[in-house]
Amino acid sequence: MAPNNESSPLLPREPAVERYSPLYDESKGMPEDEGALFDTTDILRDVIIGFSDGLTVPFALTAGLSSLGSSKIVIMGGLAELFSGMISMGLGAYLAAVTERDHYTSQEARELDQVDAMPEARRAEVYTILEKYAVPRAAAQPLVDELCRNRAHWARFMVDFSLRLERPNIHRAWISGVTMGLSYLVGGLIPMIPYFIMPKVGEAFVVSIAVTAVILLIFGYVKNYVAIRNHRAGLWGAIQTLIIGVLAAGTSYLIIKALDS
């Protein structure tokens, strides 16, 4: 007996919301602007990466420079690294998102060409894909016929299910760049604050270590708990993050101290 079409996961009762479509929809003309929806998972990932690097790298650098005994050197070196790191992280995230978007677009265009050049072979591949989900050929035929009437949707189906590529957001590039860059800036400012408000570099160094250690623990716990929803994983994430920060800062401090002496 053929499965009920209404309960099939391949035929949702409501159409799925598209995030980005560079191809024309022949039934509607120009593609609609689908950039209003943002993937919060991607944004959270960018915040975690940017904030984590911002906490660790400037903290390690300022800890090392503090061994020279001058708050001015710490502030100048820390700010130089902070802003250059923010630009580097933001630009890197932007270029990575652009590359991902361009790769998807090129693959979608290639599938569109293959749909035009070898329709029967591509139609047979659609049946093969549906067979992986235990959809009999007889039950799949109406779906395949309907899908193959629109070449743009047909090509997109091949990219989604054959190549298994996720359709990126059209605005993802600049959102990723800004998010990661600002996260790096905020994270990097935290260990530098004591050097701005305390006259003695030694005291500022101790306060910076204490404040950054607390933030590393909180941040490590939150990022793991949000991802896994488990308190034990959160505690392990807090310990890992603190160990990384301590190792980075300690290594920087010892190297600069050795070079100075």
Beta bridge partners of 150: none
Tell me the pLDDT tens digit for each residue of 118-156. 888 888 888 888 888 888 888 888 888 888 888 888 888
- 119 closest CA partner among 91, 92, 89, 149: 149
- pLDDT for the residue 20: 41
185 is a domain residue: yes
Tell me the pLDDT tens digit for each residue of 188-245. 999 999 999 998 898 999 999 999 999 989 988 888 887 777 888 889 988 988 898 8
- pLDDT for the residue 39: 62
Confidence of residue 160 (pLDDT cuts 50, 70, 90): confident
Q: Give the gyration radius of the chain's Cα atoms.
A: 26
Three-state DSSP at 208 gives helix
85 is a domain residue: yes
40 is a domain residue: no
- Assess whether pLDDT exceeds 60 at residue 26: no
124: containing domain: 49-260
44 is a domain residue: no
Task: Give the pair of three-digit tokens for residue 86.
Answer: 């923010």
20 is a domain residue: no
For the chain, the first-to-last Cα distance in angstroms comes to: 83
Reduce the secondary structure of 4-35 to three states and give it as a string. CHHHCCCCCCCCCCCCCCCCCECCCECCCCCC
How far apart, in Å, are the Cα atoms of 6 and each of 14, 81, 133, 251? 11, 57, 15, 61
- Residue 217 CB-half CA count within 13 A: 6
Q: Residue 26: is it exposed, middle or buried by C-beta count within 10 angstroms (0-12/13-18/19+)?
A: exposed
- Assess whether pLDDT exceeds 90 at residue 166: no
- Assess whether pLDDT exceeds 50 at residue 11: no
- pLDDT for the residue 184: 94
Instruction: State the average pLDDT for the chain.
Output: 80
- pLDDT for the residue 196: 92
- pLDDT for the residue 86: 94
Q: Residue 198: is it exposed, middle or buried by C-beta count within 10 angstroms (0-12/13-18/19+)?
A: middle
Report phi then psi at 39, rounded to 5: -85, 110
36 is a domain residue: no
Confidence of residue 82 (pLDDT cuts 50, 70, 90): very high
For the segment 167-179, the average pLDDT, to the nearest whole number, is 83
Number of domains in the chain: 1
Q: How many angstroms separate the CA atoms of 200 and 205, rounded? A: 9
89 is a domain residue: yes
32 is a domain residue: no
